[in-house]
Amino acid sequence: MKNLSFIIGLMAVVLFSSCSEQKVGPNQLTKEEKADGWQLAFDGKTTEGWHGYGKDHFPAAWIIEDDALKCQGSGRGEAGAKDGGDILYGKKFKNFHLKLDWKISTGGNSGIFYLGQETPEYDFIWKTAPEMQVLDNINHPDAQAGIKGNRQAGSLYDLIPAVPQNAKPAGEWNSVEIKVYKGSVWHIQNGVTVLEYHLWVPEWNELVAGSKFPSLNPTWADVASEGFIGLQDHGDDVWFRNIRIKEL
């Protein structure tokens, strides 16, 4: 009986320790993540490390609300608020694994950019960067535009649809990941890999050539091998949290 009691007690300690390690609050890294090289890009309290695209400050249209970065929607699309616009994390990444959660308002639209460039030549980061779409698929008309759902949540915007389409509805948190390694790119939404593609190959150039992007930037297909991660102000309320990055 003594041995049995000891074993049960030991199991309880192990179980408690395991649960303690797994349960962390928003915008915190677990011990395992820290040991594995993950960096926290947003601590839930400050906007340190972030700035507005083409700005020397953090735009006033973005605030911290309920441990999340929130874009306060202007209702004017990308025309935006007086001091709005997309925001960038102030470090360029080449090969990386990005994880974050997003929540969109009813009828809302936003996006997550990667490998983007900040240059006076272009007024928006999307003119230089691929985008993982953030969207209310049920209420936003863009969900029915494009080709085969390539403007729905998780998609490579206007190019490759997310399959399966597993985004949660407006008001609910979605967990997403973007992996970039030597030109190979994966979009993961709510635990499922929804698309994979490779930059710079003939298939990529052909795909982009048939899209709207060459008319916005003739060299759009030549995505940089290193660039910024950005979050979009599309004029709608949107929230982002648990933003973590690991360099590969």
> Tell me, what DSSP letter sits at residue 156?
B
**HEC assignment per residue over 196-227:** EEECCCHHHHHHHHCCCHHHHCCCCCCCCCCE
Q: How many domains does the chain have?
A: 2
d(CA 22, CA 13): 14
- Tell me, what CATH number does 171's domain have? 2.60.120.560
Q: Same domain for 201 and 226?
A: yes
Considering the entire predicted model, what is its pTM?
0.90
DSSP 167: P
Q: Is residue 137 part of a domain?
A: yes
Whether 9 and 78 share a structural domain: no
Give the pLDDT of the chain (248 residues) as one tens digit per residue: 555 554 445 444 444 444 444 567 899 999 999 999 999 999 999 999 999 999 999 999 999 999 999 999 998 887 677 899 999 999 999 999 999 999 999 999 999 999 999 999 998 999 999 999 999 999 999 999 999 999 999 999 999 999 999 999 999 999 999 999 999 999 999 999 999 999 999 999 999 999 999 999 999 999 999 999 999 999 999 999 999 999 99
Same domain, 19 and 135: no
Question: Three-state secondary structure along 79-109?
Answer: HCCCCCCCEEECCCECCEEEEEEEEECCCCE
Please indicate, yes or no, if residue 121 is contained in any of the structural domains: yes
Query: Which domain does 147 fall in, by range?
Result: 37-247
Question: Residue 32: inside a domain, yes or no?
Answer: no
| Residue at 31 is within a domain | no
Do 227 and 154 share a structural domain?
yes
One domain for residues 161 and 182: yes
Instruction: Say whether both 125 and 198 belong to one domain.
Output: yes
Q: Provide the terminal-to-terminal Cα distance of the chain, rounded to the nearest Å.
A: 51
Please report, for residues 25, 26, 202, 218, the alpha-carbon distance to residue 227 in angstroms, rounded to integers and kept in the order given.
29, 26, 22, 18
Residue 164 falls inside a structural domain: yes
Q: How far is CA 128 from CA 47, 85, 109, 115, 178, in A?
A: 24, 16, 19, 8, 17
Residue 106 and residue 67 share a domain: yes
Cα separation, 87 vs 61, whole angstroms:
10
> Do 17 and 76 lie in a common domain?
no
Beta partners for 112? 132, 231
Residue 221 lies in a domain: yes
- 225 located within any domain: yes
Nearest residue to 91 via CA among 48, 134, 130: 48
Rounded distance between C-alpha atoms, residue 244 and residue 229, angstroms: 11
Q: Which DSSP string corresponds to 127-141? A: GTS-EEEEE-TTT-G
Structure tokens at 62: 């973005």
Considering the domain architecture, whether residues 120 and 209 belong to the same structural domain is answered as yes
Token code pair at residue 92: 């360029």
